[in-house]
Amino acid sequence: MTAYSDLSTHFSRIAALSNAIGILQWDNDVMMPKGAAETRAESMALLHVMRHGLSTDARIGDWLADAENDGGLGAWEKANLREIRRVWTVDTALPSELVEASSKAVSACEMRWRQARADADFAGLLPYLAEVLNLQRQIGKAKGEKLGLSAYDALLNDYEPGGRSAKIDGLFDDLAAFLPGFTQEAMAVQARRPAQPVLEGPFATETQRALGLKFMAALGYDFERGRLDISTHPFCGGADNDVRITTRYDEADFTKALMGVLHETGHALYEQGRPQAYLNQPVGAARGMSLHESQSLLMEMQACRSRQFLTYAAPLMRESFGGSGPAWESEALWHRYTRVEPGFIRVDADEVSYPAHVILRYRLEKALIADEMPLAELPAAWNAGMKSMLGVTVPNDRLGCLQDIHWPSGGWGYFPTYTLGAMTAAQIFDAACKAEPAILPGIGKGDFSPLVGWLRANIHGKGSLLPTDELLTEATGRPLDASVFKAHLRRRYIDEV
């Protein structure tokens, strides 16, 4: 065997372990009984250690040195070597003991978070979260020393390869200066409209589920390679060719769960569209979380909150719930789905106020990783930030700092990719619609194939062939440009109203 084929075989085994971890994690979040938590934590820790052992195998360095001198490799193989070296460099920074300790701490913290969130009990979560944070600091420091990065940038690099907080600070400071005034302007515009009619429930969970499945099919989700379930926090997970999504339902308001389903379907389409020939190789992986979040937000915010989509969707909503009257007309539904109203919950936030939720979390997690703020002060700092950035007073920690699973699950460095994703989504959708004029008319008829076809060719099917900036520039003609996102917000919330 050649060195490259040795690497390919080795990393296909790592992918197999990752798939097993993904399904066990999905089961942990969706179906596992509480009594199995301790046993599951031991199993997950062992699998993480096994995967870490494979990804730090001493032979990888030699294989890489030989393979990188092979002049017969094509573009995909060369890119795979680049990604393998990136993964190997990061993974060899961590001792297996730290990987195991982090896995066990996360499993315990996630289970405790479910109860703490229900009880609005941050004090009950604090010792578990403190242990996760302590280990994340150690992980960030170890990776940072290997990569020449700060601890936070090293953690960020796991979710956004090549991403740096210095660049994000500039983008987010710009948005933080723009959004308050724009939010007030958008709310003033909508205040001049007549009061919107009310959608009266209840809306049965099973009916909501059936409608969500119908829209998932319209978007192009492959049910032969996935499923829809319920979880405390909506997510997309699973394994290669087994891409599962979840949502949560509120029988008083079907609109939240529906948009959650469309959001997670965007993630799933990316996963289902990755290059099959390299699915078990690093080069076949999705290219970072800002692009991943761009695909979910592109579907939810750009496509499925458009007038075109709601013209198609309104009759199906009326039919499903037996609705009638002005509240069920497409224009009324569009106003409902584009209403700007700052609130407590990030996943339910409107498109204008959503970035403020992310900027707050980004600034807090940076301070916590740098040990610039005691963890016990998180609720107070969170509530102060929500007041200053969104103008809302948080009544309890369930609606405040306990609402997201990311920190209990060890996802430190993830949050900025949400707003980077929103900006990227606006840029990609703008480029796609200019390149393919059939996209918007197709959405108006429930035909997403022109949009998904363009995304398959320009984003999904590229995997990690190119670094993020290069992929985005190739697909849209420019690197990430916040002005496109701002122009989209102005067009939708000021001009189109």
Could you tell me which of 265, 212, 164 has the C-alpha nearest to residue 468?
Answer: 164
CA distance 448 to 219: 5
Closest residue by Cα to residue 236 from 30, 486, 476: 30
> Which residues, in sequence order, are bridge partners of residue 226?
243
Question: Which position among 77, 83, 160, 264 bears the catalytic label?
Answer: 264
| 264 a catalytic residue | yes
> Taking the CA of residue 451 as centre, how many other CA atoms within 13 Å lie in the half-sphere pointing to its CB?
28
Beta pairing partners, 327: none
Angstrom distance (rounded) from CA 308 to CA 66: 54
Phi, psi for 231 (deg, rounded to 5): -145, 170
**Identity (one letter) of the amino acid at 203?**
F
Residue 284 phi, psi (nearest 5): -90, 0
Backbone dihedral region for residue 478 (phi beyond 0: left; psi -120 to 50: alpha; all else: beta): beta
Place of tokens 């296909």: 12
d(CA 292, CA 290): 5
Nearest to 224, CA basis, from 245, 247, 241: 241
Distance of CA 364 to the CA centre of its chain: 18
Q: Following CA atoms 367, 373, 375, 379 in sequence, which dihedral angle do they give, to the nearest 10 degrees?
A: -90
Which residues does the annotation mark as catalytic? 264
